[in-house]
Amino acid sequence: MKRFLTLMFLGLILSTLGVYLYFIKKPKEASAKFWIKENSVIEGKTIRLTWGLKLTPETYYSFKINLEANSTVWIKAIDYSSTKIFYAKQAQKLNEEKTIKASKSFIELTWLIENQNLNAVTIHQFTVEYKTFIKPYEFLGKTFIIFGIVFLTLTLVKVLKHAKKEKDVKI
**Domain residue spans of the chain:** 2-23+138-164, 26-134
Query: What is the structure's pLDDT at 170?
Result: 63
Query: What is the structure's pLDDT at 12?
Result: 92
Distance of CA 24 to the CA centre of its chain: 14
Q: Fold for domain 26-134?
A: Jelly Rolls (2.60.120)
Measured CA to CA, the distance from residue 169 to residue 4 in angstroms comes to 20
For the chain, residues with pLDDT lower than 50 are: none
Q: What is the pLDDT of residues 35-73, one digit of tens each?
A: 999 999 999 999 999 988 888 888 999 999 999 999 999
